Structure 1
Amino acid sequence: MDDAAEVTRIADAAEAVDGASPLDEAARIALADGAATVIVERGGFALLHDGDLSLAVQPDSRGRGVGTALLEGVASYDGELVAWSHGDHPAAARLATTYGWERVRDLWVMRRPTSLPLSPLELPDGLTIRSYDDSDADAIVAVNAAAFASHPEQGAMDRGNLARRMAEPWFDPAGLLVAEDGSGVLGFHWTKQHDERLGEVYVVGVSPQAQGRGLGKLLTLAGLHHLAGLGVEEVLLYVESDNGPAVAVYSRLGFAHADADTHVQYRRGA
């Protein structure tokens, strides 16, 4: 079995027990594209790409020092590193404390059952929300860059990264909703269907010039109607825990957060 297949196997085994995958989308893409440095040993792996570390140990190999050995194996990496604990695991917190990694971000997962009723989508005059077509690519990249200028992951999306995401098996142009008026594209809501049961508010981006018009809520609501129409049972989203305005909007739309649905990012200085 090659390293990529073994990483996937270990990640799937960990997810089955932990309820969250140790590999986020960026890590999976880097692994599939051969753009990551991979260490596999003793039922665990460490995966490095662009200063981001993913580390996991399969459940039946835990408690044997595998995670510690893997973390020590990347100690010679030159530069700042960040790593996510998908699910805020105590073992990850202990490793972080032992090796001087700082807790820097809490990312919440919020969930909403589609059994909750949705408000009707009522758009102001002159505003249209429609599905994506190929002529929207440059506008989507531009709005995304402006909306997420300070976001360390999403803000870096360029045309190549957009195309790479659209090459994923789950991509459906009907689920990428674009808001526009006479001035052009103002925002978008990219939805994602994981399987028959689960949908996701993948990305909602609104141009700074269109802020204050309630467009984020309208786009989110439009996406929820779309996902409900697909028959999913639940919709999830990711939001920074300290983004009070966004958390408030999502809460009013029926999303809720449980403590176990917290992802923690740690950072090791250069």
Structure 2
Amino acid sequence: MLLWLHAREDFDVVAVMIRHVLDALGPCRVYAFEIASALTLGMEGLPVGHRPSTARALVEAGFTGRDLWRYMWASTPLAELPHADNYTVSTCDEPPGQRLEFRDGKELVAEAVIGQPQAGIGVLWWISVAPTARRRGLGLALLGSSLDQLAGLGAEQVILYVDDDAPPGDPDRDRTAANRMYDRAGFLQVDRLHSYSRPT
């Protein structure tokens, strides 16, 4: 697995480094900028718009890219977002940060997980709303509350990733509503994140 590669987007240097990695690894399937987990606390793939030379060098070395994630950003505070009522906040270890939970009685119907800000940048890891509680504005309200929590922890900017690579017709992984919510809230797309693999 090629976990990280940076050569100031000098195509020739990137190409040499990739060849070196492939020679060192020998004949095997190789992954590059692979997303092992949404909780790896690292860059979730290669931002192809900002790293075109690296993307081209990978393809020319026989890698195939998969467009997996939308990488988004906003500065805080974002104005005029609703807020959730009666949610609880607890500390979580993986990832380090906080979990906001909204319950209907004893049933957990929505949650958000935020990362501890670093250098003024916080991460919204995810917002999840149970199917039975959707279309009531709970996701947007939880987003507003999450951004307030992050700002209270010192975040001046917030980033998030949307894994909108779902196959057509897969309702469990359809991120159309999530993308619409983040766009409406004022998040801007920074880049698309790709992962790569190369057969033996």
Structure 1 length-normalised TM: 0.55
Whether the aligned pair in 1 keeps the contact of 2:11 and 2:54 (CA below 8 Å) is no
Aligned to 2:33: 83
Whether 1:226 aligns to 2:149 is yes
| Gap regions ≥5 residues in structure 1 | 1-47, 134-161
Identify if the C-alpha distance between structure 1 residues 120 and 66 changes in structure 2 by more than 3 Å, giving closer, same or farther.
closer
Which whole-Å CA distance do the structure 2 matches of 1:214 and 1:75 have between them?
A: 52
Structure holding more helix per residue: 1
| Gap regions ≥5 residues in structure 2 | 35-44, 166-174
Give the AA of the match of 1:237: L
Whether the aligned pair in 1 keeps the contact of 2:102 and 2:108 (CA below 8 Å) is yes
Give the AA of the match of 1:108: R
Matches within 5 A, 1:41-190: 48=1, 53-59=2-8, 63-64=12-13, 65-77=16-28, 79=29, 81=31, 83-84=33-34, 85-88=45-48, 89-121=51-83, 123=85, 128-132=86-90, 165-166=94-95, 171-172=96-97, 175-190=98-113
Give the fraction of aligned pairs with identical amino acids, expressed as a percent: 24
Which whole-Å CA distance do the structure 2 matches of 1:91 and 1:59 have between them?
A: 9
Cα offset, 1:181, TM superposition:
1.2
Root mean square deviation of aligned Cα: 3.0
The structure showing larger relative contact order (alpha-carbon pairs under 8 Å, at least 6 residues apart) is 2
Cα offset, 1:74, TM superposition:
3.0
Cα offset, 1:61, TM superposition:
9.2
Whether the aligned pair in 2 keeps the contact of 1:111 and 1:235 (CA below 8 Å) is yes
Cα offset, 1:60, TM superposition:
11
Whether the aligned pair in 2 keeps the contact of 1:178 and 1:185 (CA below 8 Å) is yes
Identify if the C-alpha distance between structure 1 residues 267 and 210 changes in structure 2 by more than 3 Å, giving closer, same or farther.
farther
Which whole-Å CA distance do the structure 2 matches of 1:198 and 1:246 have between them?
A: 21
Whether the aligned pair in 2 keeps the contact of 1:55 and 1:67 (CA below 8 Å) is no
Identify if the C-alpha distance between structure 1 residues 236 and 62 changes in structure 2 by more than 3 Å, giving closer, same or farther.
same
Deviations 1:160-211 (A, max 9, x none): xx86x25xxxx24xx2101111141122111113324111111222233433
Whether 1:262 aligns to 2:183 is no
| Dislocated runs of 4+, deviation >4 Å | 57-62
Structure 2 length-normalised TM: 0.72
